[in-house]
């Protein structure tokens, strides 16, 4: 503050411009006058207020007037501050706040110029400044301090800076060389234009915007499950790519659904309103959570567009800004028309409330066709006469029960240890009745996988069924807490059995139908996928603490007659893209009659407790057979059709439908309903319903909306981007400034209220805000800034600048900043040649340490890294798990996005070093980088180091740097020569193939060089 004071002061001396109350006078008064002559009545002296013009210009009882505008000689404050008598001078010596001569002179001049007061700077109208420019305004300010702009940065630095700032990627070697070669005056501008029109630029802009709108892929509370949000992210990407006007962009997000003839794109934009965290915790108080959701929207909108901390007014009037509790709840009322519930289901058919499906017309057509076919087939089946007296007999005789097998052998292809527990005792920890139980008992044919846990695995199990005529094979997946994937799989968030095959000798048995006891498309992938011969489809189960074990029943096309001597070999394949989605515990069973589902918790307990149900038929079928009065006749008809094999076609159609539906993207939808009543909650207490009812309204300080009826979100959006709203453009310009300089012109980005920071250069902020408000063209704004000399300066501070302005707020040079988390990732992958470009699409899952999601539940789950190109997508596309954000992103200060974040912190911790050194993606990047370096980087190690440096930091290495890296290379080459196994281990980190024919020890040694380069501070610094 004192610092600003000096600046304010200096400005009067150097610049021949009128004194500004906010810039020049308020800081002086706040420091020296208001304590006794300000708003606080408790400490006021002489009944005098200087913070209000009306008060300060009134004569006191003695007839003396503190301020007579335009007449300093008649003004008491001027007389008193210049007074030489210690008993009369202001501030009094006892206050230890002596005014300097320049400050006194400023006060005098201000009075002389008319003593114009100004309101809080951010709420004042934006001052247009014709003829100004960024550089002239910055220079004017610097001049006041005796500083000046620095020279332009060298070309390499400038290119890397502007490329990182605009795209979040380092320049390629070709781009560096082309820029160096282009000596034309327009070289830089051409580069800027190229960057601004790139998809990468849209991605960079999106990255920042997503922080602000608290975009994530999961719901954030309780189970923190995945919710459908990425099409909104793609909307943002596309908007930035198209350089959509910011006012349109604003309207679409707040109220896209309310626009006349709203397009799909506009409706997707409105998903913004649904990006708040939601909870599905049983026993939550709906009103409490509705209050949370509403408050989140108020906080987000006010921070993102208005730079206001309106959230502070949830419980009480704002302490510092003219915002009241009424303002808070009136703002909340704008969003009262959004359809939602306190408990937002996070799975099943009703998951996430209103959701929009984004199928193409072709997809919708196919779906309609298939649905019609399914309905017809169902009807056909259910309308059949159903009677089967012999079935009941067989059932009651116990002939239908599943015969649990005692395996002879169990082996795995890729290393998992399979152990058979026939009569041997085994420890179990299943979830029963919502509680983890623990017991020990005979396994009864249980097979347990343990030890090595490969991503894909095939189990081969042999059994020798007793003599009989078999119609089906059953696979029971036994849930246990020891299995991180939903209690059933050894990893991932699901089980994925791509195929089950059975062999009698060499003869492969043919299955005609697969069904499961889960039988719900929102809980499983279709059972038919296990016998369709397609490894891209899988029977995948998400059980979530179900008390029954998932059971897959496979009908044999031809009954299998066995003598009791034959050995049956069963192969269970897990070839899915999901890693470790492999069965943890299982049993096999055979059916001699037909089959139904085990009714107990597992197949060894098929009988009901009363012993009346010998197993093998669903309860509702038994009821129908027994003619019980609440029986469902259709259940029997369905069952009989199934027995006769008539449901095969239905099952195939249902499978087809599943994949068709799964391919349709979905997004959270803002659905408008009759608005809920919104009351002021006294002290934010949701139980207190005594507060006044409020209607939607903007904060009273900013006036009233003139609407015919109840104001809508669209009215709010229109006000936010109205030409007389001074907040939005200032806030947005300030945020853009931060993106390009590391610090905003006012450094508190989420609060331009009185507790924020007066901009270091208010004229500059206003100049840019006015320009921006005139066309809402973000790309033009960004170009204007990056074309300025201010932006293009060197980051090197002069000694003088370092002393006078150590934080470089006046911009006498550019600044060095560590790049954002996603960019740290993208630089490494880009330099290595590992980055796979894409533009939008579902979020991706980079490698993540095993067990990282161990503290999550509902469902219990692990993480399955993506495969192929998705592993190497830009950091921006990472699946954003709010309660457990990817640890490498988090370590580099990416926010969890549980809340709106407009000002990322930028820390430096040892954990960051561990990430860059040891996270497999960075090790893989170093390895792939080395492969490329050996293939393309020249013959000598010196050339190679230059090549790698150029790709990483846009410059060749110095001789000294080469010497350091050569030494490292030499030492490690010797080590790897002595230990070939170590070399191979290092080279197999990550999924990317090994593509050069170098010797392993040479490649590994080269990888230690590239790894060092990727760990350079310079690599992750934008200079």
Partner 1 sequence: MQEVNWKRRTFLTRSCAGFGLAALGRLMGASGLHHAAKAKRVIFLYQAGGPSHLETFDSKPELARMHGKPMPESFTKGQQIAQLQGKPLICYGPQQKFKRFGKSGQEMCELFPEMGSVADELCIVRSMWTEQINHDPAHTIMNTGSIITGRPSMGSWITYGLGAETEDLPGFVVMMSSGKGGQNQPVAMRQWSAGMLPSKYQGVKFNSVGDPVLYVQNPPGVSRDMQKDSIDAVNRLNQRQQALIEDPEIQTPIAQYEMAFRMQASVPELVDMSKEPASVLEMYGAKPGDGSFASNCLLARRLAERGVRFIQLYHRDWDHHGGVKDGIAAKAQEVDRPTAALIRDLKQRGMLDETLIVWGGEFGRTPMSQGGDGRDHHIKGFSYVMAGGGIKGGITYGATDDLGYAAVENPVSVHDFHATMLHLLGVNHLRMTVKHQGLDVRLTGVSGEVVKPLLA
Considering only residues 585 to 624 of the shown chain, the ones binding partner 1 according to CB under 8 A are none
Q: Does 959 bind partner 1 (CB under 8 A)?
A: no
Q: Does 687 bind partner 1 (CB under 8 A)?
A: yes
Extract the tokens encoding 414.
């890729």
Chain positions 763 to 822 lying near partner 1, rule: CB under 8 A, are: 795-797, 816
- Minimal distance, residue 430 CB to partner 1, in Å: 10
Helix (H) or strand (E) holding 27: helix 26-32
Q: Does 1016 bind partner 1 (CB under 8 A)?
A: yes
Looking at 12-20, 574-582, 863-871, 969-977, which segment touches partner 1 (CB under 8 A)? Answer: 969-977
Extract the tokens encoding 550.
């998932």
CA–chain centroid gap for 23, Å, is 39
Looking at 436-444, 580-588, 617-625, 866-874, which segment touches partner 1 (CB under 8 A)? Answer: 436-444
3-state secondary structure 71-85: CHHHCHHHHHHCCCC
Looking at 169-177, 328-336, 660-668, 888-896, which segment touches partner 1 (CB under 8 A)? Answer: 888-896
Looking at 98-106, 112-120, 322-330, 964-972, which segment touches partner 1 (CB under 8 A)? Answer: 964-972
Q: Does 40 bind partner 1 (CB under 8 A)?
A: no
Chain positions 219 to 248 lying near partner 1, rule: CB under 8 A, are: 221-224
Q: Does 263 bind partner 1 (CB under 8 A)?
A: no
CB-wise, 505 or 910, nearer to partner 1?
Answer: 910
Q: Does 688 bind partner 1 (CB under 8 A)?
A: no
d(CA 431, CA 438): 9
Closest CA to 448 of 490, 480, 419: 419
Spell out a b/e string for 364-382, using b for 16 or more CB atoms within 10 Å of the CB, else e. eeebeebeeebeebbeebb
Omega of the bond leading into 859 within 30 degrees of 0 (cis): yes
Extract the tokens encoding 130.
């014709």
Among 677, 723, 958, 995, which residue sits at the site for partner 1 (rule: CB under 8 A)? 958
35: left (phi over 0), alpha (psi -120 to 50) or beta: alpha
Q: Does 348 bind partner 1 (CB under 8 A)?
A: no
Q: What is the CA radius of gyration of the chain?
A: 35
d(CA 237, CA 806): 37
Spell out a b/e string for 539-553, using b for 16 or more CB atoms within 10 Å of the CB, else e. bbbbbbbbebbbbbb
CB-wise, 394 or 890, nearer to partner 1?
Answer: 890
- Minimal distance, residue 921 CB to partner 1, in Å: 11
d(CA 379, CA 638): 10
- Minimal distance, residue 816 CB to partner 1, in Å: 6
For CA atoms 729, 730, 733, 738, the dihedral sign is negative
Contact 443/632 with Cβ under 8 angstroms?
Answer: no
Q: Does 658 bind partner 1 (CB under 8 A)?
A: no
- Minimal distance, residue 850 CB to partner 1, in Å: 5
Q: Does 984 bind partner 1 (CB under 8 A)?
A: yes
Contact 587/446 with Cβ under 8 angstroms?
Answer: yes
Omega of the bond leading into 99 within 30 degrees of 0 (cis): no
Among 920, 977, 998, 1002, which residue sits at the site for partner 1 (rule: CB under 8 A)? 920
CB-wise, 503 or 884, nearer to partner 1?
Answer: 884
Looking at 173-181, 472-480, 738-746, 987-995, which segment touches partner 1 (CB under 8 A)? Answer: 987-995
Helix (H, G, I), strand (E, B) or coil at 496: strand
Among 883, 931, 944, 952, which residue sits at the site for partner 1 (rule: CB under 8 A)? 883
Number of residues that bind partner 1 (CB under 8 A): 97
Four-point Cα dihedral 395, 397, 401, 407, nearest 10: -160
Q: Does 93 bind partner 1 (CB under 8 A)?
A: no
d(CA 944, CA 963): 13
- Minimal distance, residue 851 CB to partner 1, in Å: 4
- Minimal distance, residue 979 CB to partner 1, in Å: 8
Count of CB atoms within 10 A of residue 611's CB? Answer: 7
Among 451, 849, 868, 938, which residue sits at the site for partner 1 (rule: CB under 8 A)? 849
- Minimal distance, residue 794 CB to partner 1, in Å: 10
Among 219, 276, 790, 912, which residue sits at the site for partner 1 (rule: CB under 8 A)? 912
- Tokens 């150097």 belong to which residue? 14
Looking at 233-241, 490-498, 713-721, 975-983, which segment touches partner 1 (CB under 8 A)? Answer: 975-983
Chain positions 264 to 293 lying near partner 1, rule: CB under 8 A, are: 279, 281-285
Q: Does 434 bind partner 1 (CB under 8 A)?
A: yes
Q: Does 915 bind partner 1 (CB under 8 A)?
A: yes
Q: Does 751 bind partner 1 (CB under 8 A)?
A: yes
Among 154, 189, 320, 452, which residue sits at the site for partner 1 (rule: CB under 8 A)? 320
Spell out a b/e string for 587-604, using b for 16 or more CB atoms within 10 Å of the CB, else e. bbbbbbbbbbbbbbbbbb
d(CA 948, CA 693): 65
- Minimal distance, residue 519 CB to partner 1, in Å: 26
Chain positions 478 to 497 lying near partner 1, rule: CB under 8 A, are: 481
Among 42, 63, 910, 993, which residue sits at the site for partner 1 (rule: CB under 8 A)? 910
CB-wise, 92 or 684, nearer to partner 1?
Answer: 684
Q: Does 965 bind partner 1 (CB under 8 A)?
A: yes
């Amino acid at each position: 503050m004192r610092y600003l004071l000096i600046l304010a002061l200096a400005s009067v001396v150097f610049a021949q411009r009128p004194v500004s109350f906010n810039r020049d006078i308020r800081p002086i008064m706040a420091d020296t006058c208001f304590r006794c002559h300000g708003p606080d009545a408790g400490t006021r002296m002489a009944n005098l207020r200087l913070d209000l013009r009306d008060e300060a210009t009134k004569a006191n009882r003695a007839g003396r007037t503190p301020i007579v505008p335009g007449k300093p000689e008649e003004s008491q404050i001027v007389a008193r501050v210049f007074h030489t008598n210690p008993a009369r001078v202001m501030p009094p010596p006892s206050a230890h706040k002596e005014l300097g001569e320049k400050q006194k002179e400023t006060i005098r001049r201000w009075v002389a110029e008319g003593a114009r007061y100004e309101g809080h700077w951010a709420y004042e109208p934006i001052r247009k400044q014709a003829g100004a420019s960024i550089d002239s305004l910055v220079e004017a300010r610097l001049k006041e301090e005796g500083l000046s702009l620095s020279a332009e940065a060298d070309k390499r630095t400038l290119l890397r800076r502007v490329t990182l700032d605009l795209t979040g990627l380092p320049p390629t070697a070709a781009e560096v060389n082309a820029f160096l070669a282009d000596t034309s005056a327009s070289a830089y501008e051409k580069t800027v234009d190229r960057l601004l029109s790139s998809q990468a630029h849209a991605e960079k802009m999106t990255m920042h915007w997503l922080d602000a709108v608290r975009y994530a892929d999961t719901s954030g509370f309780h189970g923190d499950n995945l919710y459908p949000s990425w099409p909104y992210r793609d909307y943002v990407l596309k908007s930035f790519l198209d350089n959509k006007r910011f006012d349109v962009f604003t309207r679409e997000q707040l109220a896209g659904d309310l626009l006349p003839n709203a397009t799909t794109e506009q409706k997707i934009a409105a998903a913004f309103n649904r990006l708040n965290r939601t909870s599905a915790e049983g026993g939550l108080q709906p009103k409490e959570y509705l209050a949370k959701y509403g408050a989140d929207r108020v906080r987000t909108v006010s921070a993102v567009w208005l730079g206001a901390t309106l959230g502070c007014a949830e419980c009480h009037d704002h302490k510092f800004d003219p915002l009241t509790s009424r303002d808070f709840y009136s703002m909340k009322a704008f969003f009262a028309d959004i359809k939602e519930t306190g408990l937002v289901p996070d799975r099943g058919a009703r998951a996430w409330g209103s959701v929009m499906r984004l199928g193409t017309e072709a997809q919708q057509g196919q779906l309609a066709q298939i649905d019609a076919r399914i309905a017809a087939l169902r009807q056909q089946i259910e309308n059949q006469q159903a009677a089967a007296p012999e079935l009941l007999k067989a059932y009651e005789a116990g002939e239908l029960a599943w015969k649990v097998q005692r395996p002879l052998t169990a082996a795995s292809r890729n290393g998992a240890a399979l152990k058979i527990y026939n009569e041997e005792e085994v420890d179990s920890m299943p979830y029963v009745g919502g509680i983890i139980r623990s017991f020990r008992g005979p396994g009864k044919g249980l097979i347990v996988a343990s030890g090595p846990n490969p991503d894909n695995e095939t189990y081969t199990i042999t059994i020798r069924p007793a003599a009989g005529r078999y119609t089906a094979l059953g696979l029971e997946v036994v849930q246990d807490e020891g299995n991180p994937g939903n209690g059933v799989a050894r990893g991932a968030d699901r089980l994925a059995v791509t195929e089950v095959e059975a062999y009698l000798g060499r003869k492969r048995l043919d299955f005609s139908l697969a069904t499961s006891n889960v039988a719900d498309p929102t809980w499983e992938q279709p059972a038919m996928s296990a016998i369709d011969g397609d490894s891209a489809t899988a029977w995948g189960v998400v059980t979530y603490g179900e008390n029954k074990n998932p059971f897959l029943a496979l009908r044999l096309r031809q009954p299998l007659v066995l003598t009791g001597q034959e050995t049956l070999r069963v192969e269970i394949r897990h070839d899915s893209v999901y890693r470790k989605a492999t069965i943890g515990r299982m049993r096999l069973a055979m059916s001699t009659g037909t089959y139904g589902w085990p009714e107990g918790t597992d197949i060894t307990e098929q009988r009901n407790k009363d012993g009346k149900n010998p197993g093998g038929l669903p309860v509702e079928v038994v009821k129908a057979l027994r003619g019980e009065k609440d029986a469902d006749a259709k259940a029997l008809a369905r069952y009989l059709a199934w027995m006769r094999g008539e449901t095969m076609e239905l099952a195939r159609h249902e499978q087809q439908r599943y994949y068709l539906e799964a391919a349709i993207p979905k997004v959270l939808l803002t659905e408008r309903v009759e608005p809920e009543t919104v009351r002021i909650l006294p002290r934010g207490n949701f139980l207190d319903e005594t507060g006044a009812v409020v209607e939607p309204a903007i904060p009273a300080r900013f006036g009233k909306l003139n609407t015919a009826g109840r104001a809508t979100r669209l009215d709010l959006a229109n006000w936010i981007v109205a030409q007389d709203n001074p907040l939005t453009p200032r806030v947005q310009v300030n945020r853009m400034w931060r993106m390009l300089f590391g610090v905003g012109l006012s450094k508190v980005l989420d609060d331009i209220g009185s507790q924020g920071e007066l901009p270091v250069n208010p004229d500059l902020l206003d100049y840019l805000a006015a320009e921006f408000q005139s066309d809402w063209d973000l790309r033009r704004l960004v170009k204007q800034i990056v074309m300025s000399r201010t932006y293009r300066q060197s980051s090197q501070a002069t000694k003088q600048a370092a002393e006078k302005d150590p934080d470089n707020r006046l911009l006498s040079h550019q600044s060095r900043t560590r790049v954002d988390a996603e960019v740290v990732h993208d630089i490494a992958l880009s330099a290595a040649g590992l980055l796979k470009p894409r533009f939008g699409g579902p979020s991706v899952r980079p490698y993540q340490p095993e067990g990282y999601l161990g503290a999550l539940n509902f469902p219990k789950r692990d993480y399955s890294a993506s495969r192929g190109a998705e592993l190497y997508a830009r950091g921006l596309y990472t699946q954003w798990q709010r309660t457990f954000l990817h640890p490498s992103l988090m370590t580099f200060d990416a926010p969890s996005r549980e809340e709106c974040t407009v000002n990322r912190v930028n820390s430096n911790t040892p954990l960051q070093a561990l990430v860059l050194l040891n996270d497999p993606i960075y090790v893989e990047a170093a390895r792939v980088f080395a492969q490329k370096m050996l293939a393309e980087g020249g013959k000598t190690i010196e050339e190679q180091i230059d090549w790698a440096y150029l790709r990483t930091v846009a410059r060749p290495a110095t001789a000294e740097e080469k010497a350091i890296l050569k030494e490292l290379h030499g030492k490690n080459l010797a080590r790897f020569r002595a230990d070939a196994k170590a070399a191979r281990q290092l080279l197999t980190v990550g999924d990317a193939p090994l593509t050069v024919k170098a010797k392993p020890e040479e490649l590994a040694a080269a990888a230690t060089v590239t790894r060092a380069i990727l760990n350079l501070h310079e690599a992750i610094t934008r200079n």
